[in-house]
Structure 1
Amino acid sequence: MIKYTTELENIQPESLQGFFVDWPNPPSPVTHLKLLNGSSHKILAIDSESGEVVGFITAISDGVLSAYIPLLEVLPAYKNNGIGKELVQRMIEELKNLYMVDLLCDDHLQPYYEKQGMMKASGMIIRNYQHQAGILE
């Protein structure tokens, strides 16, 4: 059974293994925990049997008008079980009082998000791949 939480109090870097699949320079579990802590909104999916974090979604918001959803990840072994859909729905519900909720994704993922009630838009981005692992201290 999967439980969903917004709390990080019992989450350790060791609980965040296996994410960012196919990223050339993935964030470490320590950096992953920092980005969760730094997000204004986060929801984690936890396997209640193993206690393992199996998915997460984050949002960054000004709390007034807008939010941006930068990350949605589900561990490969848990994909196609509705976890990603549930995470998106819960986050959209959490952000429902804001004027705009934006998310950028690759073209092949757009149909997935359209099924979640989002619509296509155009945007501009900068990607500094040398910093993909996060800011190192």
Structure 2
Amino acid sequence: MIYKISTDGITAEMLEGFFVDWPNPPSPETHLRLLKNSWKVIVALDEESGKVVGFITAVSDEVLTAYIPLLEVLPEYKKKGIGRELVKRMLSELKDIYMVDLCCDDDLVAYYNKFGMAKSNGMIQRNYEVQSGKNN
């Protein structure tokens, strides 16, 4: 597995199959745009296929706060430590940021606890009409 901290050389064709179980998933082209517009991004590439098999993103004010909105590993690549490596690498990238937040479902709290993250309350709003991405 190759881990890259940029989108250099990444194409939409390399991003097929993500956003599993989303009713209105972003297209690979929109996915590429969101990766490029993120403050930090790490992608996991399968060396043999050249396909992106996992990714994590962060947005930040570049002063005190960062938020990790997305982490996903393709279903056929789960349980191989890729997600763990992506989180570990992203937290290392964010080590100089005071406040690193993310929201997750209750069943993932124990997973993120392993990285030293603490459970907190969060509030969210979802606009599913534009879930596939603004300005597709």
Using the size of structure 2 for normalisation, the TM-score is 0.97
Match of 1:32 in 2: 31
Find out whether 1:128 has 2:127 as its counterpart: yes
More displaced 10-residue stretch of structure 1: 35-44 or 105-114? 105-114
Match of 1:8 in 2: 7
Match of 1:54 in 2: 53
- The separation in 2 between residues aligned to 1:96 and 1:89, in whole angstroms, is 10
How many residues align? The count is: 136
Task: State the shift of 1:37 in Å.
Answer: 0.6
Task: State the shift of 1:72 in Å.
Answer: 0.1
Match of 2:99 in 1: 100
- The separation in 2 between residues aligned to 1:47 and 1:123, in whole angstroms, is 34
Counterpart secondary structure, 1:80 = coil
Give the aligned CA root-mean-square deviation in angstroms.
0.8
- The separation in 1 between residues aligned to 2:77 and 2:52, in whole angstroms, is 10
Match of 2:22 in 1: 23
- The separation in 1 between residues aligned to 2:108 and 2:127, in whole angstroms, is 21
Deviations 1:12-31 (A, max 9, x none): 10100000000011110000
Deviations 1:83-136 (A, max 9, x none): 000000000000011110000011111111111211100011111111111102
Unaligned regions of 5+ residues in structure 1, if any? Answer: none
Q: Which amino acid aligns with 1:44?
A: V
Task: State the shift of 1:3 in Å.
Answer: 0.7
Task: State the shift of 1:9 in Å.
Answer: 1.8
Q: Which amino acid aligns with 1:118?
A: M
Runs of 4 or more above 6 Å deviation? none
Task: State the shift of 1:58 in Å.
Answer: 0.1
Unaligned regions of 5+ residues in structure 2, if any? Answer: none
